[in-house]
Structure formats: structure tokens, C-alpha cells
Structure 1
Amino acid sequence: MIGKVVALTRAELTGAGYDYEFVLVNDGSTDGTFDVIRSLHEEDPKIIGVNLAKNFGQHNAIMAGLGRTTGDYVMLMDDDMQTHPSQCLKLVREMENGWDVVFAEFPEQHEAWWRRMGSAFTMWTMRTLQHRPKGVESSNFFVMRDYIAKEAAKYEGPYVYVQGILFRITHNMTNVPVEHFDRESGVSGYNLKSLVRLWSIVLNFSMAPLRAAAIVGAALGSIGLIGAIALIIRRLLDPTVAMGWSSLMVTMLVCSGAIIMFLGLIGEYLGRLFMTMNKAPQYVVKEVLDDKADHDE
């Protein structure tokens, strides 16, 4: 499949007069993908291969490739043919209008409904937490300028969300509608657990959840204070009034639940900070196929 993607994309680019370079990252697959990449590199030195020591995840693998790009434009696309090579020139030509990043937008998506809902929730989260430009829909099929790619490659944290990094760098971005094709082979590497994990990485790019915790805590404290004052006044006015055990237990459960939840949130931030400070690897490169690098060394 990777060979077909390369051949079709190369034909599209060269047919329109563009030069090309491919950086193919093997994210720890064990199905012989890197052997195919090696064959492609031997046939065409403009095809660079990067073999990772194990599976680090899609976004970490993207970071492994970004540092090796040299073109004026850098395009990211998957190898499952859903982000089809026939659509790539739509993104490249839109870049000539002065944008820093051009994302593909899929009016009709060939994915399960729960995947579409998850993607919509993630995009809403990113817009809320990172002030993403209104009207811009992010995807894994996009083109960016070289200086954007170089700046993004400077990110060294082990928890990576590429689109979140881009939103930190620039807001000069737009969408181009493209056709979303059916997957030609294999199944998605994302299950519900991995999608939730990817969404949680959004925490790395905003302090809003911690600020929300402080606001909720202040609100609960204020409600508790008001309730306490009301109970004292009621008790003074009518000493025979029995204190409400049920309401007290409900209040304790709600407040305790909120405290535990936000302690867990703070613990997540601290844990990720700990992993970053201890230099947990973003990725580990096992082998690189790049004639230019070999010559330079």
C-alpha cells in the first residue's frame, strides 16, 4: 500500500511541476513495511525511510519525520488511501494564497459514527482550550510551510498532538474541501481507548482545565457558605428544626467527588511534567535511510 501511495502522490506532484521528497516513517510495524520502504529508497533516493524502535503512536511518528523534511511545503498524509493522493494538489495550490497551514476538510467522511463524534468533540475541545481560529477544522491531511514544520519539530515533550502544536505557532490557516475515500486495506489503529488517550493530550496545551477546577472549587465553596449561613439563620428562628442528614450526605458526596476529580486532574498534569522532566523519549529511531545524511556524516 505504501508503494501505491508514493507512486500516485509522486505522479500528481511531478505532473503539476512540483519537485518532491518523501519521508516515510515506520512506526514499529512488524508486517514488513520497512522492507518495502527500503526498496523504494533504493529505487529513488528522494524517498527517505525512518524506522522507529517500537510503536510510539501516530503523532510521535510524525514528529520523527518532521525534523528530516527540507521542502518549502510539508504535507502530511496517511497510507491507507483515505487521504487520497488525487486530492493533494488542492491543498498545495491553496498554500499559494499565502496561508501557513491548509487543512483538508471532508464534507462526507467514510468513518464510523462514533469516530466522527469523537473527532467533533476533540475539535470543540481544542477550540475551547486553545482558541483555535473559528471556522477551521483540523485533520491529519494538511500542508504547512517549511518554517512551521521546523518550529513544530522543536517540541520535545513525550505527549504529542501535532495540531495543538500548530495552533500555538500560527492562526494563519484555512480549510479546503476534499473527497474522503474508503480505506483500501487494513483497519484503523485507533480504538476507543487510544482515541481517549489522544484527546487527553489536549491537556498539555492549555491551563484552562486547572483554571476551571479553581472556579468550580470557588463556586462550591460559595454555595456551601451560603447554605451554612441559611441553616444558622433557620436554626436561630426555629430551634426545633431537625438538621438534614440526607442533604448533608449529598453535599459531602458532591464536594468529595469534585475534590477527588480535580486532584486526579492535577495529578495528571504533575505526572506528565514528571515524564517530561525525566526526558521520556518522544520516539526512538532505529534506522534511517537517507543518502544525504549519510553523505553529510
Structure 2
Amino acid sequence: MRPQTMPGETMTDTTLAPQPLFALSIVVPVYNGATSVPTLVEALAQLEVPGGLEIVLVNDCSPDNSLEVCRELCRKNAVALTVVNLARNFGEHNAVMAGLSHARGAYIINMDDDLQNPPEEVVRLWRYAKDNAFDVVYTYYADKQHAAWRNLGSRFTNWCADHLLDKPKGLYLSSFRCMSAFVARTILIHTGPFPYVDGLIMQVTQNIGRLQVQHLARAEGRSNYTIRRLVRLFMSMFLNFSVMPLRIGTLVGFVMAALGLLAFLVILVEAISGRTPQGYASVMAAILLLAGVQLIMLGLVGEYLGRLFLTVNRKPQFVVRDVERNARALPVEQQP
């Protein structure tokens, strides 16, 4: 039975908030990271975090030997380390959600495995979030070391997010972010197959800070983000958190209908005046334009319906094949 409160008193329900085992968890989705993950884990293991640090590596069904490397690190490393192995490749944001579901820190930092975010910035980011009581802190860069086409795509995505998400103006949505356990638990309620972590965060809180950090050039290899993956990620942001695309479609429809009416009036006047409209090219151009707009709108509606269909049929957000923890990552009562 719930305890009764007296008038004027408040009560905080903590039944859904288990006591964190660590002060900080670091979630790292791993894909083609066999060469970079050992260096990253070694650097993170040297960090001094009062209250304890754990690392959660999420193998997103990487085609290289990342899983074996992660498991070897788990067995031989002194830092608390958990390896979450996904049954197939689900994508970065799905892998982040899987990592959050296994993180047990009071704060959780998400970072990539490519070493472009210096590990020494982790403690500074964590302290900044904790000392200022932010729910989430996003990082931003004075000089972003990505290809020009990807930087342009990031600016376009952030511009769209300004209008589609309830995002503070000027906030850069970086994948190197720190969030509280409260935010992580809340966004994990979302079980849809197309998660967009930043969109979920914006639905939970506006208590968001930003911190400038370094961004290093990629040490080796190239980004796992192809144009196809970036487009798929953009569609998750574009469609999952707003019906504005449908409203834009309606507006475009009204504009095209107005232009069509204007063209009809011009043709009618020419017919009454006895001039036969020449207009084959213009008619074909109008038909092709209208057909293209209609197909785009049908595609948007179809994308919404397809995502709804897959969600209703419970397409999994992620499937965990197995989880391995070393002795440091186990609760005290389970440690040898």
C-alpha cells in the first residue's frame, strides 16, 4: 500500500530507481573496432573516477574480430567491463540503447570506438554534468575532423532537428554525450525498432548543457557511416518525432493546386481569345512535376505506415545474444 502524505508534503517515488553500482558508465558501440578498442579501453581504464567506473562494450555484430578482442579485454582488464554481444547488426543508435540497458552508473557517457574523442575528456565531461546538475551534456567541437561532405550533412541534420525536435537552438547533437541514469531509464521505455537517441532525450528533458571538447582526426581506417547509413539515421530523426513532414506535404499540395489553377486560368484566357496554346513542353513539365510531388508525398505516407507496421508487429530494437562481465563488473555479493 502506498504511504499517505499530509497536506503540503511531497513524496518522491524511488521504487523504479535502483541504486547505481558505479559513479560513471561508459557505453561504446563497437563495429570494425578491433584495432582501436584496446587502445580506447586501456586509456579509459587509467581514468580516476571517485565512486567507480565501468565500461560497456556493445558488439554490433561486427564483421571483423571485434567480439574476440572485446572478450579478451573483459577477461584480462582490471576495470569493470561488460561485453554485450548483439545477434545481428542493428545500427549505432540501437546498439547505444542496448548498452544503456546494461549500464549501471549514476551517469552514462556514450562515445564512439574510433578514438576521435580523446578519452581524457571523459572525466571533464562527467564532472561538468554532475557539478552543474545537468540531465544531459552534449559536446561540440571548435574544429571537427570529418570529411567535408559529412560535416555538411551534420549541419543539415542539426538544422532539421531545430525545426522537428524540441531542441534548444544552437545545440549540436554529438554522439559524445553524458546523461544521467534518470534520462537513460526513461528513454529505455521506448522499445520501437527505429530509435533516435537524441530525439528521445529531447522528449524527456530540457535541462541540457554543452561543453567544448577536442575532436581528433581518425587514427586509421575510415568511418563506418556510409551515405546509406546516414540517410537511414536521418529518416529516423525526420519521421519518428514529428508529423511536420506530412504537414509540409499538405502545404506543397496547396501550393501546387494554386499553381495549377493559375495555369488553367491562363490557358482558358488564351482559348477564349482564339489563340491555340502551344504548350506541349510546359504541359509535360507540369505533369512530371506534379507526378514527382505526388510520389514523394506517397513515399512519406508509406514510410510512416511501414514504420508503424513494423512497430506494431514488434520488430525488435535489438537482440542480445549473450553478455559477459568480468569480476569487477559483478555486484559485490557476486564477486569472488
Deviations 1:216-255 (A, max 9, x none): 101211222233344435544x2x1213333333222221
Q: Report 1:1-297 matches (<5 A).
A: 1-14=36-49, 17-42=50-75, 43-44=77-78, 46-95=80-129, 96-202=131-237, 203-236=239-272, 238=273, 240-243=274-277, 244-290=279-325, 291-292=330-331
Please tell me whether the aligned partners of residues 90 and 178 of structure 1 are also in contact (alpha carbons under 8 angstroms): no
Q: Which has the higher helix share?
A: 1
Please tell me whether the aligned partners of residues 166 and 203 of structure 2 are also in contact (alpha carbons under 8 angstroms): no
Secondary structure, aligned partner of 2:82: strand
Q: Compared with structure 1, are the counterparts of its residues 195 and 166 closer, same or farther at alpha carbon in structure 2 (3 Å cutoff)?
A: same
Secondary structure, aligned partner of 1:242: coil
Question: Is there any run of 5+ residues in structure 2 with no aligned partner, and where?
Answer: 1-35
TM-score, with structure 2 as normaliser: 0.81
Aligned-residue identity in percent: 37
Please tell me whether the aligned partners of residues 25 and 61 of structure 1 are also in contact (alpha carbons under 8 angstroms): yes
| Structure 1 stretch displaced more, 269-278 or 142-151 | 269-278
Please tell me whether the aligned partners of residues 95 and 318 of structure 2 are also in contact (alpha carbons under 8 angstroms): yes
Q: Tell me the distance in 1 between the aligned counterparts of 2:306 and 2:37.
A: 37
User: Which amino acid in structure 2 is aligned with residue 169 of structure 1?
Assistant: V
State the Cα RMSD in Å. Answer: 2.1
TM-score, with structure 1 as normaliser: 0.90
User: Which amino acid in structure 1 is aligned with residue 207 of structure 2?
Assistant: N
Deviations 1:5-63 (A, max 9, x none): 2232232233xx34211111111124332223223333447211101112211111111
Q: Tell me the distance in 2 between the aligned counterparts of 1:44 and 1:277.
A: 43
- Cα offset for 1:292? 4.5
Q: Tell me the distance in 2 between the aligned counterparts of 1:145 and 1:227.
A: 57
Deviations 1:168-208 (A, max 9, x none): 22222122111111223332111122112211212122111
Deviations 1:272-295 (A, max 9, x none): 111111111211111101345996
Q: Tell me the distance in 1 between the aligned counterparts of 2:268 and 2:333.
A: 79
Q: Tell me the distance in 1 between the aligned counterparts of 2:289 and 2:211.
A: 46
Question: Is there any run of 5+ residues in structure 1 with no aligned partner, and where?
Answer: none
User: Which amino acid in structure 2 is aligned with residue 217 of structure 1?
Assistant: G
Deviations 1:120-172 (A, max 9, x none): 11111111211311121111101011110111112211112211211222222
Secondary structure, aligned partner of 2:109: strand
Please tell me whether the aligned partners of residues 97 and 188 of structure 2 are also in contact (alpha carbons under 8 angstroms): yes
User: Which amino acid in structure 2 is aligned with residue 40 of structure 1?
Assistant: L
Please tell me whether the aligned partners of residues 270 and 276 of structure 2 are also in contact (alpha carbons under 8 angstroms): no
Q: Show structure 1 runs of 4+ deviating over 6 A.
A: none
Query: How many equivalent residue pairs?
Result: 291
